[in-house]
A and B are shown apart, each in its own frame.
Chain A
Amino acid sequence: MTNADVQTWAAVIGIETHVELSTKSKMFCGRRADIPDEPNTASCPACLAPPGAPPVPNEQAIEGIVTIGTALGCTINESSLFYRKNYFYPDLPKNYQISQYTFPVCEFGSLDVEVDGEPTTIGITRVHMEEDTGKSSHVGGGDGRIHDADHTLLDFNRAGVPLVEIVTEPDIRSPEQARAYGAELQRIVRALGVSDAKLEAGSMRFDANVSVRRAGTETLGTRTETKNVNSLRSLQRAIAFEIDRQIGVLEDGGVIVQETRHWNEDTGATSSMRTKEESEDYRYFQDPDLLPLEVSAEWRERVKASLPELPAQMRARFRNAGVDAVTAEILVDSAELAELFEAAVAGGAPGKLIGNWLTGEAIAWSRREEIEVNESDLTAEHLIELATMIEDGKLSSTAGKDVLTAAMAGEGAPHDIAAARDLLQVSDEGAILEAVDMVLADNPDAVDKIAAGDDKPIGFLMGQVMRHMGGKADPTIVKQILRDRTKGA
């Protein structure tokens, strides 16, 4: 794709996200919902859909979806309806999925994301409650699809696990924005504690709806829906691929077919799964086994009052503490680093310095040593002590970094480390004065130059003084004294 193409076409993107809730039991029966590895060990008579077992909604799951909807600024409907989505598939025990259609639990929310300093608000159309399916493994045949498989292995452990679907408005304009949306949604869901939201494990899954149109026009193009996107990176890649593909088709005079497409991580391409004509008629109708789902005003208020701090609020707080945007993002994504950061800053340490240490040296050490920062010996007290030493000129910032990693490695408290390694700076003005006078006496030419208004030799003189002091003098004080002593010369 050339730059010219980018200017003449504009992408319109919407994302559907499925999130499995980490509830104790399944959506409509009492079976445990944590999914063990051994197939068919977490299914019960009710989630295997025997004759005669009607569904009973899981209150913890309803609380979960109301929590997500509240965090996304949605209207929580006092009454919502369950529908049956009918299709035959061997891993769908009832051969219909209980879902919502009209009247979902949550509607009309939004989520703010920022890409390259440019903020965007993405509308949330709806957040609805449904149940997950089991898993099929189609054995034999070419492409692992049901149609030409020799046989199918079924695992019903996941069948009936509560699933929340979050649908955006077509407000997303670039693959980068899509990724930022996905990442922020994942952070929110994790912050809420309602799901582990693991993309690689499938407890959070994205479907991307993509269309393109001429830049500056309003009419939407025909869209495709891309499935099997299992990471934030592939979300961005799949959408970028799909935009390019659609522009290519249109530039060649072709038309976009409304269809479901499959993202292949290895080839980095999407391919057609089924077109709209082949798509199923789900024959949605209100589930007669379930009454309207009521979420009382008291319940809504209780959830709202007990919401934890959301990533956006946390980010703003870190920025206010003096850290830059990139550092704030890293802290938001790491509960362990954020915890150390907050404790250190609460103890009076400067946010910017602590943020830089944690996201710089601390992470680098952690990667090098393959030990998590929070599993190292570093404490918030260490950070506070270290920051104070630097502020007081007892340690150079360069030496401070070495002390930090030494503290992580368990060498002790910063002051002890600095002393043991002979890194403490001399900020005793008398000792520095003595050294300065000695250097000035040895370098009369430099003194003359400075007196004549040429500041260049100051650096040279500083180096000399530091050498005399064995590198342990506080450079700020050295510089100040040098200036004072040469001014009147």
Chain B
Amino acid sequence: MTDLADLTIAEAGAGLRKGEFSSVDLLDAVTRRASITEAQLHAYLTLDAKGARAAAEAADAAFADGDVAGPLQGIPIALKDNMCTKGVTTTASSQILAGWKPPYDATVVRRLKEAGAVLTGKTNLDEFAMGSSTENSAYGETRNPWNPDHVPGGSSGGSAATVAAGSAFGALGSDTGGSIRQPAALCGVVGMKPTYGLVSRYGLIAFASSLDQIGPFSRTVADSAVILDAIAGWDRRDSTSIDGPVPNLAGSLDRGVKELRVGIVTELMGEGIDPQVKAAVSTTASQLEAAGAELVEVSLPSSEYALSAYYLIAPAECSANLARFDGVRYGHRSQIEGTTEDMMAHSRAEGFGPEVIRRILLGTYALSAGYYDAFYGQAQRVRTLVRTDFAEAYEKVDVLVSPTSPTTAFRVGERAADPIAMYYSDVCTIPSNLAGDPAISVPIGVDDTGLPIGFQIMAPALGEEIMYQVASAVESIAGFTQRAVLASSDVVAP
């Protein structure tokens, strides 16, 4: 018999509505799975057992009353720990927010609650979402459910791992330069970054405001669409959220790719991309062509500079976004004696980890008088070029495809000492963030060591419908059904 924890959201939802099992049963299943896998994975920072049970019981009561809010009602979902949850500890994996309980819910949290979802807890991340491996957490790293010697990717590594391991049916992550898609690829799940402004950032602890977007992790493309549908839409509390119609995703699935024009990005299939990843992506692209799509090679010449531009823009924004953590109003306050200014400086020095400090320094430098034009100004010009490149490409094709990550999951510690090698992990995902466009990663296979490979589909702004159409086709063509080693119900507590 299948463990309930391994069901998709669609299957679990159908079972709930038919009364085959309860929401409490689903919660028990993922909790049991977590109790087995967490010792090795450390995907969760906080399990809100009490809150989740109350929500599951409320969902069951609603079902009993014939009251169904939507497809997420009663479904256990995990949240990346950089999203504010009222009264539930939210740390962004930083010492500076140790034990901090937000006074309010993020808009995405409120919307999931309104949809009847059961919020299981808060997942691990690279501190303030800065990293690509979930090793930069003040509370210890998360491991990959496919092989615990490897990283799950990051920064939303905890969310990716819970979905891959079956300790949640879906999860939310945030993606600033690939932080949803890259861990999704490395953990063999679906991860999606929406169009900038489609999902409210209210309550998301900001890393780089012009790039940050919240998006879903799931095991299937259809589940991804269901979660996105629940969280998308205008929010007056976020000035950058889009006041307009939300894409109709349900209608996009299972429509095939006939006569769609698919562009494979030349620059993202060259040097630096692992041959096995490249081969798998090429195969899937050819299969799309065989299914009726028109496959063309497309060049994004500026993508060469996108990584460098990103590592100026994101640190510049974070240098200001993280300035509020000063020990004055909340969070860690240094006990070293001194003036108020000393207190602020010591609190920051003690509270932030090395990668966060590195990026704050980088960003401060890039914005400084005399350097602004050469660094931040130049990076903004590159960002404009990237947008132009994408706009020109979308005149010729409907979607662009590429690998999600240049490699499969690397070993824990392998890149920790080499920030540049780590930054390169996001080379395929960053251009979409700079352009503000949506992109999704769909698992298509494994390499010869059994680690998953992700296929990225990018679309123009608010092109979610066509993107999901292609993602759904890729999913069925690739026929990837393999599950993470730790997701097997054979796994027992060590």
Same complex: yes
| A residues with CB within 8 A of B | 45, 48-57, 84, 86, 88, 90, 93-96, 138, 146-149, 151-152, 154, 156, 281, 283-285, 287-291
The residue from A45, A96, A151, A291 contacting B240, defined by CB atoms under 8 A apart: A291
The reply to whether B239 and A290 form a contact with Cβ atoms under 8 Å apart is yes
CA distance A45 to B341 in the complex (A): 23
CA distance A326 to B193 in the complex (A): 68
20 pairs, A vs B, C-beta closer than 8 Å: A48-B330, A49-B324, A51-B92, A52-B202, A52-B204, A52-B206, A54-B206, A54-B240, A57-B239, A88-B323, A88-B341, A138-B340, A147-B339, A147-B341, A148-B339, A151-B340, A283-B368, A288-B208, A289-B209, A289-B239
The reply to whether B329 and A48 form a contact with Cβ atoms under 8 Å apart is yes
The reply to whether A49 and B209 form a contact with Cβ atoms under 8 Å apart is no
B408 close to chain A: CB less than 8 A: no
The reply to whether B368 and A90 form a contact with Cβ atoms under 8 Å apart is no
The reply to whether A54 and B102 form a contact with Cβ atoms under 8 Å apart is no
CA distance A70 to B212 in the complex (A): 37
In residues 85-109 of chain B, which contact A (Cβ within 8 Å)? 90, 92, 97, 100, 102-104, 106
In residues 307-353 of chain B, which contact A (Cβ within 8 Å)? 316-317, 319-320, 323-326, 328-330, 339-341, 344
Question: Cβ of B102: which chain A residues have Cβ within 8 Å of it?
Answer: 50-52
The residue from B90, B201, B328, B369 contacting A54, defined by CB atoms under 8 A apart: B201
Closest-by-CB residue of A relative to B84 is: A52
The residue from A93, A146, A284 contacting B341, defined by CB atoms under 8 A apart: A146
User: Given A51-B90, A52-B84, does the pair A45, B103 have CB atoms closer than 8 Å?
Assistant: yes
Question: Cβ of B206: which chain A residues have Cβ within 8 Å of it?
Answer: 51-52, 54, 289
Number of interface residues of B (CB under 8 A): 46
Question: Cβ of A148: which chain B residues have Cβ within 8 Å of it?
Answer: 339
Question: Cβ of B202: which chain A residues have Cβ within 8 Å of it?
Answer: 52-54
The reply to whether A54 and B209 form a contact with Cβ atoms under 8 Å apart is yes
CA distance A199 to B271 in the complex (A): 66
The reply to whether B339 and A93 form a contact with Cβ atoms under 8 Å apart is no
The reply to whether B239 and A51 form a contact with Cβ atoms under 8 Å apart is no
User: Given A52-B102, A52-B205, does the pair A95, B317 have CB atoms closer than 8 Å?
Assistant: no
B170 close to chain A: CB less than 8 A: no
The reply to whether A281 and B104 form a contact with Cβ atoms under 8 Å apart is no
The residue from B92, B210, B328, B341 contacting A288, defined by CB atoms under 8 A apart: B210
User: Given A49-B329, A289-B240, does the pair A95, B323 have CB atoms closer than 8 Å?
Assistant: yes
CA distance A156 to B324 in the complex (A): 14
The reply to whether B340 and A149 form a contact with Cβ atoms under 8 Å apart is yes
B169 close to chain A: CB less than 8 A: no
Q: Which 10 A-B pairs have the closest CB atoms?
A: A95-B323, A288-B210, A283-B367, A288-B209, A51-B205, A152-B340, A49-B324, A52-B203, A281-B369, A289-B209
The residue from A56, A93, A138 contacting B324, defined by CB atoms under 8 A apart: A93
B455 close to chain A: CB less than 8 A: no
Closest-by-CB residue of A relative to B330 is: A50
CA distance A217 to B330 in the complex (A): 55
CA distance A400 to B240 in the complex (A): 68
The reply to whether B339 and A90 form a contact with Cβ atoms under 8 Å apart is no
CA distance A56 to B237 in the complex (A): 6
Closest-by-CB residue of A relative to B313 is: A288
CA distance A71 to B161 in the complex (A): 60
Question: Cβ of A48: which chain B residues have Cβ within 8 Å of it?
Answer: 329-330
The reply to whether B204 and A285 form a contact with Cβ atoms under 8 Å apart is no
CA distance A88 to B316 in the complex (A): 16
CA distance A147 to B342 in the complex (A): 10
Closest-by-CB residue of B relative to A84 is: B320
The reply to whether A94 and B323 form a contact with Cβ atoms under 8 Å apart is yes
CA distance A43 to B364 in the complex (A): 29
The reply to whether B320 and A285 form a contact with Cβ atoms under 8 Å apart is yes
Question: Cβ of B316: which chain A residues have Cβ within 8 Å of it?
Answer: 285
The reply to whether B340 and A88 form a contact with Cβ atoms under 8 Å apart is no
The reply to whether A96 and B320 form a contact with Cβ atoms under 8 Å apart is yes
Question: Cβ of B92: which chain A residues have Cβ within 8 Å of it?
Answer: 51
CA distance A53 to B320 in the complex (A): 14
CA distance A11 to B201 in the complex (A): 51
Question: Cβ of A138: which chain B residues have Cβ within 8 Å of it?
Answer: 340
